[in-house]
Amino acid sequence: MGGGPGVAAALFYGAVAALVLLGVRDVLFLYEENRCSMTYMYEYPEYLKIKLPKKISRRFPAYELYLYGEGNYAEENKNLILTGIPVLFLPGNAGSYKQVRSLGSIALRKAEDIDFKYHFNFFTVNFNEELVALYGGSLQRQTRFVHECIKVILKMYKDQEFAPSSVAIVGHSMGGLVARALLTLKNFKPEYINLLITQATPHVAPVMPLDKYLTDFYTAVNNHWILKAQDVRNLTTLSVAGGFRDYQVRSGLAFLPRLSQHSRALFVVSSAVPRTWASTDHLSIVWCKELILATIRAFFDLIDETTKQITEDPKKRMLVLNHHFVRHPAKFFEEDPETLTELKGTLIWMKIKSSKWTYTVYNESDGKYFMFPLSNHRKTYSHVHCQNSMLDTSSWIYGCLNSNSSMCLEGFDLSWKAELLPTVKVVTLKLQEYPSLSNLVVYVPAINGNKFTLDCEFFKEDSRTVQLPVTHLFSFGLSSSRIVLNSTGLIYSVQLQHFGQIYQAFKIYIESHCQPHKGRKTSVYRLHVPWSHEDSIIVSKVPSFTEISAKLHIPQPENDSTVAVLNIYSSSDCQYEVTIKTSFSQVLGQVIRFHGGSLPVYVISNMLLAYGGQLSALISTGHCSDFVPALARAAKPYKVEPFVNIVKFLLGFNWFKDIWNVLFLPELDAVLLNKQDMWFPLVSLILFLFGTGIAYWGGILFSASLRLLSSLWLSLTRPSGLPKDSKLMTPRRAFMAILLVFVSCTTCGAFAILIIYLHYMFKVIKLHSNVRLEQNLLNMDPKHSKETSDYSNKETVKNCDSAETIAEAAEAASPTTNTAIDNVVNSLKIHITIINLLTWIVLLSLPSLIYWFKNLRYNIRLDPDPCRTMAIILVSTLGILMNSSTTKVKSSKLSKIAAQLPLPLSVAVVAFGPMHLYRVPYFVICSLLLHVLCCIV
């Protein structure tokens, strides 16, 4: 059935497939270890089902509302006399309502610690674990149900002394998007929610845009938040992303569209959250103890003591969120901290004149103040930096006003300028910004048993700031940039020049050489990205060799001139050697991370080229090759990518754009992607090659599977002989097609597609087994062939009594002419290519099938159904196509058009499909419809 694939092609596409696997491996497996602690419940968690009005229950039979509780607290709440602050948890894609337990349990423990002065009531919605990230048909329904739940929750508090007027919402994954969608409802009052915290929610776009309902929902939500910003003016939103451990929702998608510049919206990656400093995967973000603690601390700090509810002041809400999620000064939150503080003159005061100072505290019986005169240092140095390894929340550093005496009785509390790191709290002050300060004062309290170290130094900014240009993206790790820091201080800033693109990925190696001595502190390395809160922090012992991965979630904005910085909080008298080199595997990982969801587009584009190549060869030579060789010959990026780029270029002209709009053509996905990323044309070329490699080895795997299945079929049944030209449509086939159309309309379109696909697959297996048998008979010598034929006839006579069966068996076993076999072989090759294309259509429609199957007990009909129209067309088309042969195609008047059409369709798939995967099957269907017409006309 054709020669094997060329060795050169196999090697090339083997290398391409290896690159794909390398990128997938980086995304799925090569990330930091889980540094989150598990959240445990101290008492058995209980979920009290809230009885909803019958009208709501009938409208939403699959959804439920619960109240979380534990132990005595759960018992007290069974009568639903609630006095707390309502918080509603919304689970995400396939998420359970029980995921609220981490938030609810820690909030309960916190309330117990303050004797229930304030407490929260955590409600949670059961969405029946629907796959809303893959099927968008139920998102609007979920949004309407949440609206009803909010009204029910607020009604439960109406007779309380401090009745809430709003509900705080915590949304995980798609639950966060549903919460944002509340504002798009006509009857929804924006004042119903004043705080929204989303966990790993893809706000920008769906992870996989598999149906129109999903993309339309995103468009409606994001447009509303942009165009009707007045609706969100009193809503404070925090979006927390999981970092590189979350390969299901990349952190860049959690960035709130155009709202990051809004004063009431905040985006952070969990690795940058103070006291968390850990990347979380898509599920652990709901139970990561460090992150949940930060969230609950923020909730309690948001309480207004007057109303005993979450504050209505948006400014305070943002201050609290920044305190706990962006920059923690190692102090308890205060809305208006007293900056002028009285210092104790009765303690010991010591004046320090040196520019560098270290003090180790152990069993200090009396408190001390160390005073640093600033007048002399201002002439020589630009900054002062201090570190304190005592991680308590007390004030420890002050600025003194115009004091020339040996002590200072009043000082500005500069501890609020400090920042908490894993092992120290640090403060760096620019002396020029504090011209009125005469002295810097460091306070050492009286302690027993605790040992900690204080360090201060004055320095020039230029001496501690070094520039390190990153290596080129295409250096493949063969070259490196290196710098040596002979440390005499506490802090260094290594500016990573030209690091701002999402496809850049580096490995940074930091080697520290220190004189070993007892009690040496650890070093802290922080990769700081100034245009987004996605810092990563690593603590390392000294001396040591540390490897840091440097890659971005969000590219540098065009109008942003800041530079990514590697901050080294060093140990004194250490030498640091910093080396940076491009990590080729992580570059591939970034390509897969950002564009892996669009790979089916490029695979199908390649398959369409192979399909067109087979039809062209069939018309010109009368024969067509197997799918894999046809793919190797026809699937060339220069057939697709230049045309897409030409259209993108022409759309820059108004006259062409006007023509485009007159034809009602949708916006080009490639144009949108190019606006987001200037490197996309090159990346698209790489993705096309990746698609070729996947299609190539997928074709080989499918051929091997087909041979295996046909061998199994031959071992179980008797051959029926080669099919003869017959009618394309018989009453039986018409009934089958009508039945499947009925199934599409009354149940689920994807279910009908799966049935017709399996039916088609079964016919191809039978055809493959019959062709193999006939080819084996032809390859045998005539004598042997005759013996085989006679033996086959005798065996048939033994087992069948009817003369008709004997005649049919004899006819089936008799050798067939080479021409007839060649025609059937050509038909088989085309059928195999069509099956390959259909496999991807089935995969793209599978999510809605799974959703329908999971919800079958509630409704037998999927509504809305994104695959219904496609299923009706496919069932009708494949009902004819699976019974067709290439003889009719060769003689058709439309054959040349059918052979040429896959090329423009392949271009259209790449142009319109990456951000709208649901469009892709329709381009395949267009090609198949013309094939059907060739069989008729």
Residues recognised as catalytic:
173
> In the chain, helix, strand, coil percent, each to 5?
50, 20, 35
The C-alpha atoms of residue 415 and residue 775 are separated, in whole angstroms, by 86
Q: Put residue 275 in one of left, alpha, beta given phi > 0 → left and psi -120 to 50 → alpha.
A: left
Give kind and range of the element (H or E) at residue 314. Answer: helix 314-325
Burial of 33 from C-beta contacts in 10 A (0-12 / 13-18 / 19+): exposed
Residues 6+ apart with CB under 8 A from 764: 706, 828, 831, 832, 835, 882
Neighbours of 800 (CB within 10 A): 13
Q: Counting beta carbons within 10 angstroms of the beta carbon of residue 251, is it exposed (0 to 12), middle (13 to 18) or buried (19 or more)? A: buried
Spacing of C-alpha 895 from chain mean position: 43
User: CA 479 to CA 900: how far, in whole Å?
Assistant: 46
- Continuous H helices in 747-885: 749-779, 782-799, 803-813, 818-854, 868-881
Which residues lie closer than 8 Å to 106 by C-beta, 6 or more apart?
39, 289, 292, 293, 296
Q: What is the largest CA-CA distance in the chain?
A: 125
Q: In a 3-state reduction of DSSP, which class is residue 90?
A: strand
Query: Which strands sit side by side in the sheet containing 544-551, from one edge to the other?
Result: 481-486, 574-582, 505-514, 544-551
Q: What is the 3-state secondary structure (H, E, C) of 404-435?
A: CCCCCCEEEEHHHHCEECCCCEEEEEEHHHCC
920-930 as b/e: b if 16+ CB within 10 A = bbbbbbbbbbb
Question: How many residues can be counted in the chain?
Answer: 937
Tell me the H-state helices in 596-653: 599-621, 627-634, 641-650
Peptide bond connecting 847 to the previous residue in cis, omega within 30 degrees of 0: no
| Distance, CA of 421 to CA of 277 (rounded, Å) | 9
Cα–Cα distance, 931 to 925 (Å, whole number):
10
Helix, strand, or coil (residue 717)? coil
